[in-house]
Structure 1
Amino acid sequence: MKKLIYFFTFLTIVFSCKEKTTSIENIEVAKEKETTTNTPPEKEITDPKETEVWEPEPKAISFNENKVPSDAIVLFDGSSLDAWVSAKDSVSPAGWTINEDKTMTVKPGTGDIQTKQDFGSIQLHLEWSAPDRIEGEGQGRGNSGVFFQNKYEVQILDSYQNKTYANGQATSIYKQHIPLVNATKAPDQWQTYDIIFHAPEFDNEGNKTKSGFITVIHNGVLVQDHVEILGSTEYIGPPKNEAHDKGPIKLQDHSNPVEYRNIWVREL
C-alpha cells in the first residue's frame, strides 16, 4: 500500500514539473511575440530629398558634326586607314580602298583588316552598304562581317529580299543567334549597326568564368537583345571557348565590295 502511495506521489511531482516547464516556455514565446509585435516600424520617408543621390555625377560628353561622342575612339572617319592593319600579319597596312566621299570599300583579295588597338567590352557604331549592283544570292551577296576580339562575328550581309540560313543573315551572331527581325534596307541605302559587346572572362587556368553578351540595334531596331555568346563563331563545327584577353576589331573580306563609313567605339 505504501508503495502505491509513493508511486502516485512520484507521478504527481513529475507531471507538475512538466506543466511548470511548459508554462515557462509559453511565457517565453509570448514575450518573444510581444517583442516582435511591438518593434517600431521603419521610419516613413516623407521628404523627397532623402532618396536623392548627388554623387558621383555622370561625366558630360558632347558630339561633333558627325554625331560622334567626345569620349569615343574614332576608327574611321574617311581620312585614312591609320587605325587599321592587315589581319594577315597584324603589321602590314590595310589594303582596302578609301573613296572620295569618305567611305572605304573592301578590296576583294586583300584580306581582312583589323584595328591596331585591342579592346575588351565596348560600344561600337558603324555604317555599311552592300553593293548597289546586286550580284549573287544567299551568302554570296554583300557579305562581310564585324568580329569582336577576332573571334565573335556579327554578320554583315545584303539580307534585303535575299533568303539564306537564318542564323547567317545580317545581324545574326553567326551560327548562334537569329535576329529578332530582318531590318535590312535596300542595297542602295546605308545600314547602321550599334552594338554593345560585353567580353567573356576567363580565370588563370583558362576556364571561362563568365559568358560574353551582345546587343545589336540595326537601323534603330533592336535585333539582338543581350544574347549570350556561346563561344567563337565557327563556320564549321560548334563554338570554342579558348581563353584570351582583349583583342582587335576585325572587318571581313568576303570577296564582296561592301562599303563602310563612320566607325567609332566607346570602351565600357
Structure 2
Amino acid sequence: MLEHLRPFAPRGLMLIACGSLAPMTGVAADGVDPELEPWQQAEKTEVWEPVPETVQAPADGVPSDATVLFDGTNLDAWEAEDGGAAPWHVEGRAMTVKRGAGGIRTREDFCDVQLHLEWRTPEDTAGMDGQDRGNSGVFLQERYEIQVLDSYDNETYPNGQAASIYKQHIPLVNASRPPGEWQSYDIIYTAPRFDDAGELESPAYATVLHNGVLVQNHVEIQGTTEWIGAPSYDEAHGCAPLYLQDHDAAVSFRNIWVREL
C-alpha cells in the first residue's frame, strides 16, 4: 500500500512512525540531558567571563566610576557657551543661572552617558505662566534638549513641559514638584551614529526618570530639538559637551555627575 502513496508525498519527506521530529540523541528539545546530574546541567548555562567591574554605589552618593561635574564648590568643569570662565552664580552648594549671561557647557565632551542632576525653579511665580515659569534645559551633546520648566499646576504645550524631549516627546506622566523644591533627572542617553560619509546610521535615544519616575522610556530622538521647524540630523558630529541653558530664569542646579557608557 505504501508504494501507492509515494507519488503523492512531497519530495524529501521522512515518515516517522512515532510521530516525533525530535533528534534521537537522548537530549530533550530544551537542551536538558537526562543522563546528567542537575548540577552538571546547570553548569552548561553558566557564564563566568567577563566579570563586571566593581563600582561603589553609596546611598545618596556618587558612583565611584562617575565624573563629578558640580559638587557645590566651583564651576571648574564648566565654561561659558562662547568660551572662558562660566559666569553663573555659586551659592549654598548650588549654581544658579546668571540671567542674560548665556548658558554654560562642560569642558569635556561626552557621547553615551548616564547623567544625574538636580534642579530647582524659582519659588516666586507671580505674573508668570507657561514657558515663562522657570525655563531652562539640559542639552545632550549641545543639541538634544530635555526641558527644564516649572510644570507644577502650570499649563503649556505638553511636548514642551518639564521632562519632555523638547517639541518631540511628551513625558509619560507629570512628576513635577512645586516651585522652589529640588527635583532630579536621571538620564540614560545613547548618542547618534554617523557613517564615514556623514549619513545617519542610528539615531539618539533617551530614557529619563523625573524625581525617580520613568517619564521617557528609550524614546528615539528625531534630531536637534528646535523651537521653530522640524528636527533633523543634518550635521554629522562626534562627542560634544553637555549644555545648561540660560532662558532668562533663575533656575538652580546641584549634584551633577555623569558616567560614560
Tell me the equivalent position of 2:69: 75
CA offsets per residue over residues 64-104 of structure 1, 9 Å max, x none?
575100000000001110000011x2x211000000x2101
Give the distance between the partners of 1:264 and 1:38, measured in 2 at CA.
55
- What's the C-alpha RMSD, in Å, of the aligned pairs? 2.4
Compute the displacement of 1:175 (Å). Answer: 0.1
Cα drift, residue 58 of structure 1: 1.2
The residue identity in structure 2 corresponding to 1:78 is: G
- Which residue of 1 is the match for residue 24 of structure 2? 39
Query: Which structure 1 segments of 5+ residues have no match?
Result: 1-19
Distance in 1 between the 2:183 and 2:255 partners?
11
Which of 114, 118, 124 is 1:133 aligned to?
124
| Structure 1: 4+ residue segments shifted above 4 A | 22-26, 28-38
In the other structure, the counterpart of 2:255 is: 262
2:144 to 145, 152, 157: 152
TM-score (norm. length: structure 1): 0.85
Whole-Å separation in 1 of the counterparts to 2:51 and 2:22: 42
Shift of 1:39: 3.0
Q: Please give the residue correspondences for 1:57-136 in structure 2 after superposition, counting only pairs within 5 Å.
A: 57-63=51-57, 67-87=61-81, 89=82, 91-99=83-91, 101-135=92-126, 136=128
- Size of the alignment, in residue pairs? 246
CA distance in 1 between counterparts of 2:165 and 2:175 reads 15
Task: Give the TM-score taking structure 2 as reference length.
Answer: 0.87
Q: Secondary structure at 1:193's aligned position in 2? A: strand
| 5+ long unaligned stretches in structure 2 | none
Report the Cα distance in structure 2 between the residues aligned to 1:23 and 1:187, rounded to whole angstroms. Answer: 82
Q: In structure 2, do the counterparts of structure 1 residues 38 and 219 end up closer, same or farther at CA, with 3 Å as the change threshold?
A: closer
Change (3 A) 1:185 1:31: closer
Identity over aligned pairs, percent = 51
- Which segment is superposed worse, 224-233 or 48-57? 48-57
**Structure 1 CA distance, aligned partners of 2:121 and 2:253?**
9
Alignment of 1:230-241 (within 5 A): 230-241=222-233
CA distance in 2: counterparts of 1:30 and 1:183, whole angstroms: 61
Is 1:204 equivalent to 2:196 in the alignment?
A: yes
**Aligned equivalents of 2:49, 2:103: Cα separation in 1:** 45
Q: 2:209 aligns with which of 211, 217, 223?
A: 217
Which amino acid is the alignment partner of residue 249 of structure 2? Answer: N
SS at match of 2:44: helix
Distance 2:22 2:55 in 1: 53
Cα distance in structure 2, aligned partners of 1:65 and 1:179: 27
Match of 1:6 in 2: none
Q: Which residue identity is paired with 2:24?
A: T
